[in-house]
Structures are given as C-alpha cells and as structure tokens.
Structure 1
C-alpha cells in the first residue's frame, strides 16, 4: 500500500512540474566546449597555455539552445581563474574552471651596459622569461629600454629592470631654454635659464630675464611649456 501511495504521489508531482523543467538536461561537454572556444579567442594574441577544467557532473540544468560565455565577474585573466557559461533565456549560469600559464618576455642586455649610457636598439633584445622568476620589475617591451639612460650597470645577458633606466636628460642646468606660455586664445614665447637637469615630461624651474622663477613641463624638443 505504501508503495502505491508513493508511486501515486510521484506521478502527481511530475504532472504539476512545468514542462520546461522536465526538458532534457544541458550537455555539460557542450558547455565546456563553449568555454574552450571563448578562452581560445580571448588568448589568441597572447603567448599562453591554458586548460579547461571539468564541470561537476552532478550538476543539472535545463538544456539551452544559445549558450553565452564570459570571464567570471572579478576573475583574473591569468593563473587559476573561471569562465561563466550562462543561458540568458533560461536564467542559469555555471562556472567553468580555467588554468592559464602565460609566457612572459623580458628585455635582456646584449652587452655589458654602464651607468650613464644611452641604450641603443642593438644593445637589447626580448627573450622568454622562465616561469617562477622574479619578473615584476623586468622591462617587458623594447620601447621601454631603447633611448633610455642607464642608472646602473648590467652585465651582458642580464635582465633590464625598471629601476635601472630613466628618460634621457634633454634640458641641463644653466642651459638657455625657450619658454612657451600657453593660455586660452594666446601663446607667448620667451627665453629663460633652466635651474636643473630634466627629462621630457619632467617639471623644471626656469629663471626668466627679469629674475622671476617659473616652473614648466619639459617637451621632447627641450622647450618648456607653462600653461595658464
């Protein structure tokens, strides 16, 4: 008798469940493939190796005709991270684990460089950086090195780090410089004397002819810009 009652209750429950909930469950392999295609597109321009993890096979959601994949909110795009695959029409979302191992490149000196030298294009090259190395301060682009001035020496084959280089001085102390005063609707030029060494983009004090000292920003051509 108890078995008959249980069977009857199960049949009634099934009859009361809306039809969409009785639909086939989502193929989780297809869901993982959607995540795989998304990551492949996202990392196509990066030197990275990656693997897609498996979704827990105990999970079950209704099958969806239009899956959408994107990085999980707040997730990093490197290391151990996640992609969310969702079905907007049915309102569900599952998280797929992703492991990304990225090959970084760094700037290496082709020859021994001394403090005060200006780095030329033949002085440096890019090489792959080994995993796990202390890479945080290593320059990752040749444009960050070429044309810069060394603040300390580095042997041939050594990594160039951010604290080893600085922008070259374009204005020297006691050098005569052109000062351009720029404001709304006007520009006036005059000559002055720089009171310190400065690189492009630096702020430098300039003594004008009447003895007044002003401060402006050094341009790459050595002119000093004062904005009013």
Structure 2
C-alpha cells in the first residue's frame, strides 16, 4: 500500500484569471500572506489543518489512481504545506498533472478547487513518487559480443525512478540478445546495451509448431530468411508451400497465422 510521508518544504502556486502567482514556502513575513488571492480576508476560511489534510488526500488519491500498473511497489512522499498558509474553503478538489509531466520520481501534482462558494484556486504540491521493483544486472563481467545466458544475470531490487530510463525489468527481454560492449560486474542492463542475435539462419532446417485448443502440430521446413527472436520468417515445407511463423529463442518457428 502506498504511504504518505510529510516533509517540510513545498512549492505552491495559486492561479487567477490573467495572472499566475508563485509562492515559495515557508512564508518569510506575515504581511506577505494577504497578497495571495486564495488567502484574501473576505473569503471564508477553514482551519489550516483540515483543508491541508484534504489537499494531501487529494494528491494521494490522484497519484495512487495514476500509478496502478507500475512495475513495482509505489511509495508516495508528499511535502506538506506550511502550517501558516490559509486556503479558501472548497467543496470539491481534484488532482491533475501538467501536460507532459510524468508521475515518476520528484514531480509536482496540481490540486484545483472545482466547486467553491468563493473564488476557485489552484496550487501545486511537490511529490516524490518512488517505484520499488526488480531490475536486471550482470552477475559477472561480460565480454563484448557475449550471448546472454540466464546465469549471466541476477535481479536486484531498488527504486526504479533513480535508475536510467528503459532498464530491463523482465528477463524475457534478454532472450536472443548479446552484449554490445564489455560489461563489468553489476552493470544495469538496458536494451541499448544489447543486440539481437539471429536465432534462425537462411537455409536452416527448422521445426514449425502450430498450437490449438487441445492439439499441437509440428513439421520441419527450410527457413527462407535469417531472423531474430520475435521476427516473422517464411518457412518452406516439403510440399513446397511457404508458411509464415515467429522465430523463437530456441530456434523453432511458431505458426500463428
């Protein structure tokens, strides 16, 4: 379950038509507070602790809904609003992210008041979205061009948001791959560090396999092209007919057409 941890700093912005206000907390002087239209004295206010709690809950619920399906356990840390900041009462809040922003690592989540008896407001809360999961690293030093074997790789657990983009989190992604360069022990594996190896060579005799409900049909044929794992290859069977299939890591061809 995602957890909420409050830390002392926050980036806050309140937007009004035609003008964007940015406030960096904590507030240094009390006379700065009325300058923010969200805090205007003529607007009804609720106790800061109550409205702040609703802001935190809105952020948490939004992040939880948007991070379902992430490759690991999601931990959410929300930085608190300064206790001296007062926010106008709001009947309904909603969370959002700026277009193009990703809920990954340190980011900002917007909270807007969409239903209020007073002037609507918008603020941004700094949030750290951590994703703890498994990723592949080399279990021993590997030379350039080495075909990857299961014994060459070990899975480690860590915060995926602190690692390079596109890291390998599923060992099936290593099938039919070889290294592009020398790799020391503990190298975090990424697709751009690997190269596909042909598993079927042109002219090679391969086994065709077709599966259905309750049956498996196999036949031998001749590969008409060289193919990597997952690529389509034409296979000529004894009758002279060409059959298309998907090249597998074991050199067989899976017929799915």
* Same structural fold, with TM-score higher than 0.5 when normalized by the shorter chain: yes
The alignment's TM-score, normalised by the length of structure 2, stands at 0.55
State the match for 2:111 in structure 1: 84
Relative to structure 1, the CA distance from residue 205 to residue 102 in structure 2 (aligned partners, 3 Å threshold; closer, same or farther) is same
Aligned residues: 197
Q: Using the TM superposition, give the Cα deviation of residue 33 of structure 1 relative to its aligned residue in structure 2, in angstroms.
A: 1.9
State the match for 1:156 in structure 2: 185
Superposed CA RMSD in Å reads 4.3
Structure with more relative contact order (C-alpha pairs < 8 Å, separation 6 or more): 2
Q: How does 1:50-69 map to 2 (within 5 A)?
A: 50-53=78-81, 57=85, 61=88, 63-64=89-90, 66-69=91-94
Q: Does the alignment pair 1:117 with 2:147?
A: yes
Q: Using the TM superposition, give the Cα deviation of residue 122 of structure 1 relative to its aligned residue in structure 2, in angstroms.
A: 6.8
Q: Does the alignment pair 1:108 with 2:108?
A: no
Consecutive unaligned residues in structure 1, runs of 5 or more? 1-21, 183-187
State the match for 1:99 in structure 2: 127
Relative to structure 1, the CA distance from residue 35 to residue 180 in structure 2 (aligned partners, 3 Å threshold; closer, same or farther) is same
Task: Map Cα deviations across residues 35-81 of structure 1 (whole Å, 9 max, x no partner).
Answer: 32344453594245442455994x863x34x5434224635324332
Relative to structure 1, the CA distance from residue 122 to residue 98 in structure 2 (aligned partners, 3 Å threshold; closer, same or farther) is same
Match of 1:207 among 236, 239, 250: 236
Q: Does the alignment pair 1:225 with 2:255?
A: yes
Consecutive unaligned residues in structure 2, runs of 5 or more? 1-41, 68-72
CA distance in 2, matches of 1:207, 1:130: 45
Contact 1:109–1:160 under 8 Å retained in 2: yes
Relative to structure 1, the CA distance from residue 167 to residue 52 in structure 2 (aligned partners, 3 Å threshold; closer, same or farther) is farther
Larger Rg: 1
CA distance in 2, matches of 1:178, 1:144: 21
Relative to structure 1, the CA distance from residue 33 to residue 168 in structure 2 (aligned partners, 3 Å threshold; closer, same or farther) is farther
